[in-house]
Amino acid sequence: MKLIRICIALLMLAAGHNGLAQAKQQQIGLFLPLYLDSAFDASGGYRFGKAFPKQSIAGLEFYLGATYALDSIAKEGRNLRLHVFDTRSQSGSISLIATRPVMDSLDLIIGSVSGTEFLQLASLAEQKKIPFLSATYPNDGGVRNNPYLMIASSKLNTHLQTIYNYVLRNLGTSRIIYARRKNATDDRISDVFKALNKGSAGEVVKMETIYLNDAVLPGDLVNSLDSVRQNVIIAGSVDENFGRNLAIAALANVKTFPITVVGMPTWEGIKDLQKSDFKTLPIIYSNSFFKSDDQVYNSFEEAYKKKSFSKPSDVAFKGFELTWYFSCLLNKYPDSLLQHLEENSCNLLTDYDFKPVQSNKTASGPDYFENKRVFMIKRLNGVATRVN
């Protein structure tokens, strides 16, 4: 109950939050889906009693991470003003905010948004010539010729390239099984792998493709496994339920067959795979972020627990680290942030690698900047380590 009261207070704070600093310097617009209109009634009463609205959790977690970053920056004497906009409230809709004078004062936009809101912010950023960091959406939404857009969560094709390169260099001599479902989504992923694996003399790495249902059973894998060679099972799907079931089926066979499972970037969100049951199964997957248990992350985790009485999620960590990194860049290069995206002096734990993406080679500039640094994470014996 205490946690709910704290979260409600923070939501109300976010609803009227105008800034963290007294002096007007660089100003940041933080766009988040907080759903404040649905959380409170017309009189300001909280609608959910002792519960907490699930749709607000991700936005609130990102907000808490971001404000912790700015609090830390303020302690170093660098003042930045933060404007928080709830994209799922009437007053915070992007189409309405676009007409307000505050948009002309922003030096940076950070958005934990997707879909239409992502496209609206990208368009607004280009119109106003404001750098826009898309923090959590691993997609370009078809945006082209927008040099003000930065995509932090690498796109799927970037992950697939990294996954394939890792398998080729480190597991290429193993028995490789490519597991997928029969649908259009998995077809697209398979097409990318086939293109990457195509050499002048045929396949670079020999893979056996097997088609499975969503409810993968241990027996579905047995006929493809080798009892004397290392077996590498690649999950050819981003569907979390399929990935979870595939890992469970592999775990049931790991005592009989040497197995390593290679998953997709969505596997970071499959919490079941972090349980002790999976300690004996090597699981490797890609991620655009990597948080190690060092002093920086431990300090953040401790501060986050004091504020929210819960452990920080991956979304909270992204809010913290990305806000720190780009606030630092903005402070150092207030008029030329986009020209210093390769700056590494502001890094905390994640090494970013923002590169210009240009679909039309004859265009005068990039379509956007994408973080091309993808980490391969290995989970074994309850420990997550970087392996690239």
Indicate the pairing of strand 132-134 with strand 202-203.
unpaired
CA-to-CA separations, 205 to 103, 262, 265, in angstroms, rounded: 51, 15, 22
pLDDT tens readout for residues 340-354:
998 888 888 888 999
pLDDT value for 17: 46
pLDDT value for 77: 75
First vs last C-alpha separation in the chain: 43
More confident residue, 203 or 9: 203
pLDDT value for 23: 45
pLDDT tens readout for residues 104-132:
999 999 999 999 999 999 999 999 999 99
Find out whether 349 and 294 touch, Cβ atoms under 8 Å. yes
Check whether 2 has a pLDDT greater than 50: no
pLDDT tens readout for residues 320-331:
999 999 999 999
Check whether 95 has a pLDDT greater than 70: yes
pLDDT tens readout for residues 41-69:
677 676 666 666 788 888 989 999 999 99
Check whether 22 has a pLDDT greater than 50: no
Check whether 136 has a pLDDT greater than 80: yes
Residue 4 banded pLDDT, cuts 50, 70, 90: very low
- Give the closest residue to 179 by CA, choosing from 249, 235, 258, 243: 235
pLDDT value for 183: 97
Mean of pLDDT values over 15-37: 69
Phi, psi for 82 (deg, rounded to 5)? -115, 130
Check whether 8 has a pLDDT greater than 60: no
How do the residues of the chain divide into helix, strand and coil, expressed in percent and rounded to 5?
40, 20, 40
Find out whether 337 and 131 touch, Cβ atoms under 8 Å. yes
Check whether 92 has a pLDDT greater than 90: no
More confident residue, 387 or 43: 387
pLDDT value for 293: 57
Residues in the chain: 388
Q: Which residue ranges form the domains of the chain, and what is each CATH number? A: 2-153+293-372 (3.40.50.2300), 156-287 (3.40.50.2300)
pLDDT tens readout for residues 270-319:
989 989 999 999 999 999 988 765 788 888 888 888 877 888 888 999 99
Q: Using a pLDDT cut of 70, give the percent of the chain over it.
A: 90
- Give the closest residue to 265 by CA, choosing from 373, 349, 156, 166: 156
pLDDT value for 269: 87
pLDDT value for 20: 45
Supply the DSSP string of 225-278, one letter for each residue. Answer: --SSS-EEEEE----HHHHHHHHHHHHHHTTTS-EEEE--GGGGG-GGGGSGGG
- Give the closest residue to 36 by CA, choosing from 63, 55, 50: 55
pLDDT tens readout for residues 143-187:
999 999 999 999 999 999 999 999 999 999 999 999 999 999 999
- Give this prediction's pTM: 0.89
Check whether 242 has a pLDDT greater than 80: yes
pLDDT value for 299: 87
Top mean-pLDDT range of 6-15, 174-183, 355-364: 174-183
pLDDT value for 246: 98
